[in-house]
Every structure is written in C-alpha cells, then in structure tokens.
Structure 1
Amino acid sequence: MLKNYFLGVAFLLFNCQFLFSQEQLSENQKLEQLCKVWGFLKYYHPQVAVGTFDWDAQLISKIQESENTNTKKEFNALLANWIDQLGEVKKCKTCKKNSDKKYFLKNFDLSWTDDKNIFSDDVINKLNYIEENRNQAENHYYFFDKKLEKIGIQNEKYTTDLYPTKELRLVELFRYWNLIEYFFPYKYQTDQKWSSVLPEMIPKFLNTNNQKDYALATFELLAKTDDSHVVLKSSDSTKYLFGTRKLPIEVVSAENKIVVSKVLDRKSGEEVALQTDDVILEINGETIPDLVNKYSKYISASNSWGKLRSIKNLVLWSNNPNINLKIERKGIVQNIDAKTYFINDIIKPQKADVEKWKFLDEEQKIGYINVGAVEINDVAGIFKNLKNTEAIIFDIRNYPKGTTQAFSFQLIPKITNYYSWMLPDLQYPGKYYEEKGYVGRKNANNYKGKVIALVNETTQSQAETLTMMLKQHPNCTVIGSNTAGANGNVVRLKMLNAETQYSGLGAFYPDGRETQRIGLVPNIEVKPTVKGILEKRDEVLEKALMLINEPLLLK
C-alpha cells in the first residue's frame, strides 16, 4: 500500500514537471521576464554591475534568441545558460551583515524571482543566489551624488534615433522600467501597480508604426509615474499631442477655467481676437476639465491640480491656423475663432524686474519676501531690514534659489528635524533607508514675529522643502492651496533623445507622513477665483494681510 502511494506521488511529480516543461509562454510573457531578469542582473550580478559586458547588446541578443523558444523549458534553459555565461558569483562576506539603517521597504519586491509558474527551480535558485551574493562594488550604471543626495545615471547608451528598431525600443522601455523599479522612492504610490505597467507597455512599444506612435507610447510610459517632476524636455510632446502653432497668450487658471493674463506681441503686428481678462470656457467644443481628462494619460503629474497646471498651457497649441473658443468677455459669453502662430512669430516677453523684498504698510510692520527672486547672499541683509517687523510674508508661489538653510538660520531658534529623507541603498538596489534632515541653528536672536507662507500648485520640490522649513517656526501659518506634491532631488536620464527626470529622493514629514502626490496642506485654504483675477486681486495675499491685522484669526 505504502509502495503504491509513493509511486503515485512520483508519477504526479513527473507529470507536473512534464506539463511545466511543455507549457508555452506568449511573446509578451517572455519579454516581460527578460526585462525583469536583465534589470536584476544589471544591478545585482557582480560581473554585470561593474560593466564587464555590453549589457544592451546582451539584451538584444536574448530578445532575438527568445523568439526561437516555444516552451517554458526552452525559455528557462536560455535564462540558465545566460546566467552561467556571465561568470562566477563568489560568496559575499558582507551581504548578510546586519545594518543599523532604518529601512523603508514599501518599494522593495523581488518576489517575482520565486515565480514557479514562470521559472524553473534551477533559474529560481540562480536568481536567489545572486541576490544573496549581490554586487558590493561601485556600480557601472549608477552612482550616488553625496552633495545632492541623489542617484546619478551613468554609462548608458541612449539611442539617438527618434524611431529606432523594435529591439532598441524595447531596450529604452526596459531601461526606464527598471530604473523606476529599483530607484524611484514613490513607486508604491503610483495609481497603477508598476509591475502591471510592463506587460501593458510592451505591446505598445512593439506595435508602433511610426515616430509619432513611438513618442506617444513613451509619453504614456512616463506619465504612469504620477510624478510632477517628470517632464520630457523636447518639443515632441507638444508637437505630437497638440501641434506646432500656438495662441499668442499667457493664461492662469481658476475654478476649472483659464483666464487670459497677457496677450503677447506678434512679429506681424496684426490684431488678435483674444483680449486680456477673457475667460476661456471651451476649446474646440471641449471644456477645460474635459481636456484635462483627455490628455491626462500622456502628462505626468502628482495629482489633479498638477495635471491642470501643465495642460492649461499645452491646450493653447494646435496644428490648425485657428482655434474655436467659447469665451466670457465682460459678462457676455461668445464664440470666436482665434488665430494661432508658429512660436518664432510670437515675441517672447521680457522678464520684468521684481522686488526681492518690501514693506507692505507705511508703518513698516509687515514685510514681504519674493522667495523666488532672493539669492543666498541676500538673506542676511533682508532680515537686517525686516528684523523689527511684526510679520513677514514669504511668497513661495515660485521656485527658490537654494535659500532654505540661509532662511532657517534667521528663523529657527535651534537645530530642528524638518524632513525625513529616504535614500537608496546602493548595495541593495530597491531598498531605501531613512536619514533625518535638519535646518536652523542655535539662535536666541531668531526672528520672533509672525511668519506666513503663501503657496499653491506651483510650489514644487525645493519650494516645498523651504515651506516645510518655515513650518518649523513657532509662529508660522501656511495659506493657499495644496502644493505640487513632487519633492526630492531628481534623477536625470534620456528618452526620445531628450532629457527627462523623476523624483529620486523620498521626502516625508518628520513623523513619516507622506508629502508626494498630496503636497503640503495649508493651514488656511484660499484658492484664486475668476472674479478675483479679473479684479486684479491677489486673494491669497489678501487673506494673509487680513490675518496679520486680526491676530485672533491666526490662532
């Protein structure tokens, strides 16, 4: 009886192994696993990570070889032979040592290396062994910039072809997917699980028919990071999505509408249909919210207000000589056809001089600092002039010039933890660890008046860092709307032969709460209205002045 039992078990095991070996994998499945294995070996294998091989060429070779495999057994044999050919992986003496780092592991996931539905036991064992004995030397493909506390990408061979071959398109996709997989601190926060992005995007990169299709697939891939730091510094995003001609205007947004803030001069000098203060309700029959929804899949942003911030300017572009607009002008709704121009035919306005600081009242009790205009060397002098004020308003609806620490020395009475940064562990790709960020100094003579920060959706990255510093002042109030929700020094690389970037350093409140995608939440919410814009009022600044003059409202 017992003998029959063991024979039965052996028979079942044999059949399971036979069925596994004969089961087929789709082309998409093979490419998905090749991407993961290629990226894992690139960062983990001691021979690969130091640049021994032309790793892009290796991927192209394996893509082509995989096309000749039909079953799981054949595909796994390809992977096993590939790994064996990379050279010996010696036992790592330091890999298992306990670390005193406080790890952040929400992004870390190598569970796919144990997937028995895809990999043979042999391949699983090889991958696990490489993880346990991973590269500890300097990596050929990345380095850590200690000054900026961020990952730097190096020694990548970006294609310069705007419509490369199928294999090179996959190299571009696989490189980007793995960078986000291992070196994006906010991967766990994306709307779509990052592991599901890969099987979705592979056929889109494969089945492009021309340069435009490939560009649109790339825009869609970048947008899946849900990160407002992600931009592609190329005119292609405008050209392929919208056009090469533009309305000669600048706009601001409020209440899901956009308002013409300035009509730009044209070289032709001809009159235009639009006027300053026109409220644009529809563009070619679509409302502004409709346009945001329409183009959201191609525009990366941390949140809905970030999408609007970007798209409100992009929808001014078209390939047509005219755009049909529904506008409201002086209370009357009307339809007009507005002429578009090539960008070279629009005269770029000169930047107006802006005051770095000023008093807002005759008694000189309220100071105002335009943070985006202030240099580090200006800070001490500004506070010398403002030291006797009752309140200072910091306008951070702009981008600072590295002044966070300099301002903190004047404002904060002691060294203070203002951020928790999450840094990548270079010896264990995919893992992050916490490092506290500090501002201020021991300063009994710090500024003791009221501190008010004005913020909105343009308050991003370094501006959010400065705002967080101001929040450490014992008498600070933040007024406005949620900030951009994109903080942390950026990682730069190339896609479509143009520079792009993403947030490479995790930024959290000192107590661990998230800021990415949420932004810093103001103590008092004030959003501009169309009425306020038309009346040339700064409603956020007005609220700050009201609160300063009515102290009880600040409490």
Structure 2
Amino acid sequence: MSYIHGLCVVLFLTLTGTLSAQYKWQPLTQNSSVTTIADGTLQLQLQKSDAPAVVILSNTFPALKGQHSLAVTFKIKLSGFKGRFSAESYPKDADSSTIYLGMLRYAGQSLPTKNEVWETRTITFASDATFNYRSYLLMGCKSVTYNIAFQGTGSVFLKDITLLVDGKPANFTDTLPVYPADKDHAFDHGSGFSSLPIADSLVLDHLTTLGKIWGFLKFYYPVVNTGNYQWDYELFRILPSVISAKNTVAANQVFLNWVQSYGPVPRTTPFLIDSTDVKQFPDLDWIRPELLGDSLALALRHIVYIKRPRSNYYITYNAALPDTTLLLYAHERSYPQMTYPNVPDAGFRYLTALRFWNQVQYFHAYRTLIPGYWGEELKTLIKRFVEAEDLSNLYAAHLQSYASLKTSHATLNVMDNPYLLQVYFAIFGSKHAPFRVRIIDQQAVVEKVFTLNKQLPDLQPGDIIEQINDMPFADYYSYFRSYIPASNTAATNRGIAEMLTGTNDNHINYRVNRNGHIFTVAITDFFEGEAGLEEYMNHLSRQEGLPGDYVSLKNNIVYINVANMSSQRDIFKKYAKNILGAKGVIIDLRGYSFDDALYDDTYFYPHRVPYWRQSHPDLTMPGLFRMNAGDSCGKENPDYYKGKLVVLVNERTQSKTESYAISLQQAPDVTVIGSTTAGADGCSLPPVSLPGNMQVFMEFSGIYYLPDGARTVQQTGIVPDIYIAPTIEGIKAGKDEQLEKAIEFLHNAPVKRPRT
C-alpha cells in the first residue's frame, strides 16, 4: 500500500546528462516541513505519528527497451526519529500513466537506520516474497517515480540521491521523440465545459454517437492515431458543433465534416476476416446508414478496411515481453492535475465515459459475456459520469461502471491513489469494526472476531447480523451490490461482507441474532484510517485452513497451503519425498499466490498436458481476439505422484489460483472440493488510465481450457466436484468444514486407476 494520504511532500528531480543533485521541494500540506540545507541535503520534519510523509522522486528519461533492474541509492540520517520506513516504485509513461507491472515494492517494509549517523542505503526494486513483481523498465516507460515514505515523528535527512539502472548511475543523454500531440496543451487545465446539456435527449443521442465515432477513429484510423493529434483535445474542439446541431441529419453532417477535416478518406475494398482461431469479433454494427446517414457510414466503412500496423501512438504490444501479447498504453493521459480536491469538469467527465466504453468495446476479452448489449451502454455511462458533479458521486460512478462489466478483476486502483482513498472512506467508511463476515444463505454471519486494543467486541462466530444501524441487512446488500465489481454471486457476497464493517461515525450498532436471542451490539473500537484499513484488509485476506505452508496430517496425508508459501518451488523441493510417498495430498487454494510453481511443477503429472489457450487482441483490427497455441503443465515423469490429490477452493480462489486449480485437474487422480470460485480469469494488466488519475483493471486476454478450448471459468467460476460451503453451525463450532471434508474424502475414497 502506498503511504501517500495525510502528510505528503513531493520531490522533483531535474535530470540533465548524468543524474544531477538539483532538488525542488513542493510541500503539499501544513503538517510537515521540508527544507534544503547545506550541500543539497533535504530535511523532512515529521510532526504527526499517525500520518505518513512521502518523498516522491520523479525521474524522467528516454524510453528503454528490454529488461533493466531499477535501484535508488541515497544517504540518510535520522534525528530523534521514531517510526517506520517503506518504499515503492512506479514505472510510468510520458503522461504519468502507470505502465504494466505498475508498482514495484522494496523487498521489505522497513529500513532500520541509526539516529544522528549518516548511512548509505540502496533500494533495489526487485522480486520479493509478498508481491513477486519483476523489476524492470519497459519499452515506452519514460519515467519512474519512487515513493519513500516515513511514518512517525522526528527529522529525516536525505542527500546524494542517485538512480541506478543495471547497477550503474543512470545516464540520460538521448532525446525523447516528440509528437505533435505532445505539444498540444490547449485543454490541460479544463475542457471549457462546466456542464453539458444531456437532459436534452437529442443532444445526448448526438454525444453518444460522437463517442462511438471518436473511439473508432482513435483506434482504427492511422491518420489520427500516429501522434499527429491529441485526440482527447480534438474531442473538445468538435463538441460545440455537435451540441448545437438541431437534428440528427445536421449532427451527421458535423461528424462527416470532422472526419474529412483530417484529409480525404481513402477508398478501400472490403475483405473477409480470417476466422481461423477467432474468439471474439469486433462489434461495428453501429456503423450503418440508418443511424449515420449514407455518406458518413460509407466513410467509416472505408476506414474499417484500411491496413493498420500492429501498434499506434496510443496502444501497442509490450515489446519488452516478446513472448506475450500484453498491451502497452504509451500516451493515455491520466490528467493527475484534475484529482482530489479538484473534480474534472463536465467535458473531462464526458471524456472519462468515452475512454472507458471504448476500452471495453475494443480491448476487453470478455466483452460478449457482459450482461445486455455493451453497444447500448455508452449513453448510460455518459449520463452517469457527466451528472457526477462531486467526488463521492464521481467515485460511485466509476465503481458502478466497473461493476457493470461483471468481472471481479474490474477494480479501481484505490490503495495506490491517496486522493481516491479519501473518497473511498467517504462512501464505505474510514473505520472498520474488528470482525469478519461471511454471507451464508443470504444472511450476514460473523465468521471471525479480531482483537483490537486488547479487547474483543461482544460478538461470537455464528452470530447473524440482522441490521446495521437502522438498515436491515437485506437493504444494505441491495444498495451496495451495485458498487461491487464481481463476476458471480460468490464474489459479490465476498465484496459485501468486506464492506459490512465500515463507518465514518464513532460507533456502529448491529442488531444481532444469537441462537434466537435478539440484541444490539455497539462497536466503538475500530481499525482507523489508511493504516487501519491495511491491517483490516490483511485480516480479511488471511488464508483459511491450517497455519503455515506445509503440514503433515494423520494417516499419511500431506496438507499444502499455497497462499502461505513464500516460494512454492522451495516447498515442493524440500518435502518432495513426503509428498510423493503420501496417501493423499491436499492443496489449499482458498487464497491468492503470486508464484507460478504449480504450472511448472512435475510432481503431479506423468507427462506434459496441454490444458489452456489464450485469447489476445489483434491490433490490426481492434475488437478482434484470436486464440494462441496454448500452454501445458507438467513434463514426462514416470515418478509422478500416484496417490489421491484434493484441491480446496472457495470464493477467495480467483484469477491465478483458479488457473492453478484447472491445471491440477489435469493430474490423474484429483478431486476439487469446496465452493464456487470467484470466476475472474485472464490477464488484467496493464491498468487503463482515466482522467483524474484513475486506473481500472479489466481482462485484456481471455483464458479457455482444453480439450475443446471453449470452456472458461469467467463469471461461472469453478464448480467443485464435491460442493461444500461453510455452515452457521460449523462456524459456531470453529470448524473448517471444507478441509474436514477433504480429509474425510482421502480417508475413504478409492484410488483411481492412473491415466496413461
């Protein structure tokens, strides 16, 4: 998590040639002081222990190709300092939009230093056990921002700060390519539209059509997507003419004149798309004469069949990862100057709706799985965003829009945006009561109670929460479900349960049903603020099942808790003899893991087994997704595990761990036990940048499983072979009913004949 809200101080580095030691401080709060003293030394004075201060070092350089390690070295001295230290790194493009892999964390959450002594420290932003992100710059990455956060009281001194690339001081002698679009700053501080007349249904229709044409040209028309035009600002330039159009015929003429203003549209010959391995076709049915008129529809149809390169000014494949079809957004401006406490004006909120809709329209791998017809959703998005005139409503508009995709991946990057975090608190609460809830049979059931300030709330596992303050739980569920991006009911219930404890008040009253006895519990002790939210979320995400990563159970059964592992490969290697000799093995996937060991592991497979194919975007025809050759798990191995394998899953099994479960299903004797998984599969990187420094994740590639390559767990989740969900009675008794079922199954089930 980024410690940015509260006390925040920003440091900008000016780089010419080799990294210079010229620093400019810009304090953003009255609660800390920053000064430059002798020899360029920076002094940060912390005055509050409960709010972190962040030094942000922003380094700009030419785009680098390939993989490069990132590090920053500096001298640090503490004076009367008591607190903690953390650091993060954000590779960015020229427009401050985070590039793929986004945040790179320092391998460790503290950096001990002595008071009153200068010490040299180097932070290498590399793989670590918690996040397992690789540390490199990517093609198109033109700056890197380091957050060095101090939380506590006292003084911090920094000097001789140097960026290291591949272990050497960075040298920035090359020049960046400058496109005409980069020089267009006409609307940097506002679109000029404080409102838009969307109450007029005709104007709203015209703005909807404009949004589709604008996005189509952005990704389909080489004339406008090669960097010659700042396409966001071209939208603002045409808006007055569109708004003033008296009827649809006049609006279509405005659109046609606009397209032709960029030069004559070349005549092209229609051709059939090679449908080999096509998983999803573009949706261009809206380009028809009855909507656009004959001349405009013909012009856009000609553009459809223009030959396009595999990349453009706005989007390309990530050349730093040549074996993938991951996308790279190079010039999608995020307009960070329009973030908290500022609200983007109506023009930029309209732009937000268009950017979001068109990203889904052309680059969402599961667009056809979205309920309803996505082509008709743009009008709703325009109304929702344009009418959101304050931060709370704007944030709610984002959440509701992402939830409409019906994918658990469509999350807004709140924890790394300090300003959004404040809005999150306004909606969901900055305080969280110390207990965890599970939704069972449409009831909110207390699952675990956490100790806070050495006290436990007057709640017990198995208590049913019937009312939150004055709101019955059923009403609470109905209200908040529209804010939860979720693929299925299991994921929705998980999200609702996480929100149930939030408040901005000094207390929450819960009406509780305990074995038929109804009473009220008043909670006054909370996890508070950003640090409290982090601690609360850590409690929520803790793995079900047994503690530790490897446990030897009775009757020669081995239990492996994947989410608790720091390195799965090391664990399998260490306990290989135990695993191969066990009667039964339980792999608990009721959580998340960043390790790929289970894909490569040879213990459970007698030979290499193809098991999935991936759909990926074809940038020569945006909206078209093709299937790749696929991938396999295992290898030829006569000494594979020949016992019974059980895989445990539930609603916390999502994305990579769902793929783990599918790969393990290729083993000869495996049974999946538990409850329905979250149903979010596919690659959701990189995040999409939106105005106001927003970022949203969605799937840009889809995963489909063999033998037919048609099965996906998106939305449906994995349905276990043996379905068992926690019960209220089981929670009261402190049982892990899913694990108990797995142990019982291994004791009683016959061994299958191994497949050959």
Taking a change above 3 Å as real, the CA distance of residues 452 and 275 of structure 1, as seen in their structure-2 partners, is closer
Q: Distance in 2 between matches of 1:380 and 1:97?
A: 52
- Is 1:81 aligned to residue 257 of structure 2? yes
Q: CA deviation at 1:281?
A: 3.0
Q: CA deviation at 1:504?
A: 1.8
Q: Distance in 1 between matches of 2:718 and 2:423?
A: 29
Q: CA deviation at 1:501?
A: 0.6
8 Å contact kept, 2:669–2:752: no
8 Å contact kept, 1:479–1:524: yes
Other-structure match for 2:695: 499
Residue 698 of structure 2 aligns to a residue whose secondary structure is strand
Identity %: 26
Q: Distance in 2 between matches of 1:149 and 1:467?
A: 23
8 Å contact kept, 1:283–1:326: yes
Q: Distance in 2 between matches of 1:136 and 1:405?
A: 37
Alpha-carbon displacement from aligned partner over 1:86-121 (angstroms, at most 9, x marks no partner):
24556789x95874741113x52101011x232121
Q: Distance in 1 between matches of 2:549 and 2:347?
A: 52
- Is 1:313 aligned to residue 498 of structure 2? yes
Q: CA deviation at 1:174?
A: 0.4
Q: Distance in 1 between matches of 2:221 and 2:622?
A: 11
Taking a change above 3 Å as real, the CA distance of residues 98 and 208 of structure 1, as seen in their structure-2 partners, is closer
Q: CA deviation at 1:64?
A: 2.4
Q: Distance in 2 between matches of 1:89 and 1:46?
A: 11
Alpha-carbon displacement from aligned partner over 1:250-306 (angstroms, at most 9, x marks no partner):
33443332214122423xx67744456544232224444432222111221001111
- Is 1:110 aligned to residue 284 of structure 2? yes
Taking a change above 3 Å as real, the CA distance of residues 289 and 422 of structure 1, as seen in their structure-2 partners, is farther
Which of 656, 661, 677 pairs up with 1:483?
A: 677
Other-structure match for 2:704: 508
- Is 1:190 aligned to residue 370 of structure 2? yes
Alpha-carbon displacement from aligned partner over 1:26-45 (angstroms, at most 9, x marks no partner):
11111111110111111110
**In the comparison of the two structures, how many residue pairs are matched?**
525
Taking a change above 3 Å as real, the CA distance of residues 360 and 181 of structure 1, as seen in their structure-2 partners, is same
Unaligned runs of 5+ in 1: 1-23
Identify the range of structure 1 (352-361 vs 193-202) with the bigger mean alpha-carbon deviation. 352-361
Residue 432 of structure 1 aligns to a residue whose secondary structure is strand
Q: CA deviation at 1:463?
A: 0.3
Taking a change above 3 Å as real, the CA distance of residues 276 and 25 of structure 1, as seen in their structure-2 partners, is closer
Q: Distance in 2 between matches of 1:252 and 1:100?
A: 45
Taking a change above 3 Å as real, the CA distance of residues 367 and 272 of structure 1, as seen in their structure-2 partners, is closer
Residue 301 of structure 1 aligns to a residue whose secondary structure is coil
Q: CA deviation at 1:131?
A: 0.4
Q: CA deviation at 1:377?
A: 3.1
Q: CA deviation at 1:326?
A: 1.4
Amino acid at match of 1:46: P
Q: Distance in 2 between matches of 1:311 and 1:439?
A: 35
Other-structure match for 1:290: 475
- Is 1:415 aligned to residue 415 of structure 2? no
8 Å contact kept, 2:434–2:527: no
Residue 428 of structure 1 aligns to a residue whose secondary structure is coil
8 Å contact kept, 1:285–1:326: no
Alpha-carbon displacement from aligned partner over 1:164-205 (angstroms, at most 9, x marks no partner):
111111111100100001111111112232122211221222
Other-structure match for 2:445: 258
8 Å contact kept, 1:49–1:135: no
Amino acid at match of 1:416: V
Residue 575 of structure 2 aligns to a residue whose secondary structure is helix
How well do the aligned residues superpose, as a CA RMSD in angstroms? Answer: 2.7
Alpha-carbon displacement from aligned partner over 1:462-502 (angstroms, at most 9, x marks no partner):
00000000110110100011111000010312345243211
Other-structure match for 2:550: 357
Q: CA deviation at 1:216?
A: 1.7
Q: Distance in 2 between matches of 1:449 and 1:244?
A: 49
Q: CA deviation at 1:236?
A: 5.0
- Is 1:401 aligned to residue 594 of structure 2? yes
Residue 521 of structure 2 aligns to a residue whose secondary structure is strand
Alpha-carbon displacement from aligned partner over 1:401-458 (angstroms, at most 9, x marks no partner):
2235555422122221212321111211111111223222122222111111000011
Other-structure match for 1:32: 208
Residue 409 of structure 1 aligns to a residue whose secondary structure is coil
Which of 721, 746, 751 pairs up with 1:523?
A: 721
Other-structure match for 2:395: 215
Taking a change above 3 Å as real, the CA distance of residues 166 and 392 of structure 1, as seen in their structure-2 partners, is same
Other-structure match for 1:444: 638
8 Å contact kept, 2:350–2:382: yes
Identify the range of structure 1 (537-546 vs 229-238) with the bigger mean alpha-carbon deviation. 229-238
Q: Distance in 1 between matches of 2:719 and 2:461?
A: 32
Taking a change above 3 Å as real, the CA distance of residues 331 and 75 of structure 1, as seen in their structure-2 partners, is closer
Q: CA deviation at 1:388?
A: 0.7
Other-structure match for 1:465: 659
8 Å contact kept, 1:45–1:89: no
Q: Distance in 2 between matches of 1:355 and 1:58?
A: 56
Residue 287 of structure 2 aligns to a residue whose secondary structure is helix
8 Å contact kept, 2:650–2:676: yes
Q: CA deviation at 1:516?
A: 0.7
Alpha-carbon displacement from aligned partner over 1:127-172 (angstroms, at most 9, x marks no partner):
0001011422422222224455433333111133241111111111
- Is 1:543 aligned to residue 543 of structure 2? no
- Is 1:171 aligned to residue 338 of structure 2? no
Other-structure match for 2:47: none
Q: Distance in 2 between matches of 1:377 and 1:552?
A: 29
Identify the range of structure 1 (455-464 vs 270-279) with the bigger mean alpha-carbon deviation. 270-279
Q: Distance in 2 between matches of 1:390 and 1:329?
A: 41
Amino acid at match of 1:110: L
Alpha-carbon displacement from aligned partner over 1:200-225 (angstroms, at most 9, x marks no partner):
22122222332222222222111111
- Is 1:144 aligned to residue 321 of structure 2? no
Identify the range of structure 1 (178-187 vs 503-512) with the bigger mean alpha-carbon deviation. 503-512
Q: Distance in 2 between matches of 1:507 and 1:131?
A: 27
Identify the range of structure 1 (467-476 vs 96-105) with the bigger mean alpha-carbon deviation. 96-105
Identify the range of structure 1 (249-258 vs 394-403) with the bigger mean alpha-carbon deviation. 249-258
Q: Which has the higher helix share?
A: 1
Q: Which has the higher strand share?
A: 2
Other-structure match for 1:7: none
Residue 235 of structure 2 aligns to a residue whose secondary structure is helix
8 Å contact kept, 1:488–1:507: yes
- Is 1:247 aligned to residue 427 of structure 2? no
Q: CA deviation at 1:346?
A: 4.8
Q: Distance in 2 between matches of 1:208 and 1:426?
A: 33
Amino acid at match of 2:632: Y
Other-structure match for 1:9: none
Residue 369 of structure 1 aligns to a residue whose secondary structure is strand
8 Å contact kept, 2:558–2:578: no
Amino acid at match of 2:404: K
Identify the range of structure 1 (146-155 vs 63-72) with the bigger mean alpha-carbon deviation. 146-155
8 Å contact kept, 2:208–2:379: yes
Taking a change above 3 Å as real, the CA distance of residues 553 and 443 of structure 1, as seen in their structure-2 partners, is closer
Other-structure match for 1:11: none
Q: What is the TM-score with the length of structure 2 in the denominator?
A: 0.65
Other-structure match for 2:299: 126
Q: What is the TM-score with the length of structure 1 in the denominator?
A: 0.87
Amino acid at match of 1:176: F
Amino acid at match of 2:588: D
Taking a change above 3 Å as real, the CA distance of residues 99 and 37 of structure 1, as seen in their structure-2 partners, is same
Q: Distance in 2 between matches of 1:81 and 1:60?
A: 16
Amino acid at match of 1:438: S
8 Å contact kept, 1:408–1:470: no
Taking a change above 3 Å as real, the CA distance of residues 190 and 389 of structure 1, as seen in their structure-2 partners, is same
Identify the range of structure 1 (464-473 vs 281-290) with the bigger mean alpha-carbon deviation. 281-290
Q: CA deviation at 1:47?
A: 1.9
Other-structure match for 2:77: none
- Is 1:377 aligned to residue 562 of structure 2? no
Other-structure match for 2:558: 367
